[in-house]
Amino acid sequence: AQSVSQHNHHVILSEAASLELGCNYSYGGTVNLFWYVQYPGQHLQLLLKYFSGDPLVKGIKGFEAEFIKSKFSFNLRKPSVQWSDTAEYFCAVNVPSGTYKYIFGTGTRLKVLA
Amino acid sequence: KAGVTQTPRYLIKTRGQQVTLSCSPISGHRSVSWYQQTPGQGLQFLFEYFSETQRNKGNFPGRFSGRQFSNSRSEMNVSTLELGDSALYLCASGSSYNEQFFGPGTRLTVL
């Protein structure tokens, strides 16, 4: 069965530190890849997505992610985090198995210390 | 454009009862998906409806069911509630192959 792994469950960083959150998926075929963010008290919202083309995608609020097909990875990065980036981050894969179905990772809670 | 709305926002039930949750998608969206969110488990896909038909189904027992109406509004029903059903239930609308727009969720507590 397809799955998405986020190995970092909790991350604590100081402001201005660099961020990289890991995401690996298990599916050998074509996938669409997403990162969603859930700020405290807010809805889940899309950070960025990858369908095809340039494997380095840029999203909102200075986030970017790199798709490495050979590693089945789609890691999220930000060069300098801010206190307002404190949130839970979810990686998701969309598998076109007849009809599309989203598979989410378990999430990474990021706390940024001011 | 109004976002995805879910009602009620909070529910407290006891074991053995049943519950119905409602979701109104963004106007024009025909796909509605339901997820269960619990700490440590992330979001687990329940089912997706498109034009009143269930198009996808996750690995949940038959106690979890849903339906979609002609106006795209969707309901989810859980029968014979168990303690482990306590969770945040999220509804999302939009294309199943593209971005999904999430509602605020319904927090269900089973006592």
Comparing alpha-carbon positions, the chain A residue that sits nearest to B55 is A99
pLDDT of A99 over the 70 cut: no
Rg of chain A over Cα atoms, rounded to whole angstroms, equals 14
pLDDT in tens, A25-84: 998 788 899 999 999 989 999 999 999 899 999 999 999 999 999 999 999 999 999 999
Nearest to B43 among A46, A99, A104 (CB): A104
CB B92 within 8 A of CB B35: yes
CB < 8 Å to A30, chain B:
none
Measure B59 CA to nearest chain A CA, in Å.
11
Residue B39 pLDDT level (bands cut at 50, 70, 90):
confident
Residue B94 pLDDT level (bands cut at 50, 70, 90):
confident
**Angle in degrees, CA A47, A110, A38, rounded to 5:** 40
- The structure tokens listed for A111 are 């706390």
Task: Give the pairing of strands A24-26 and B5-7.
Answer: unpaired
Nearest to A99 among B42, B55, B90 (CB): B55
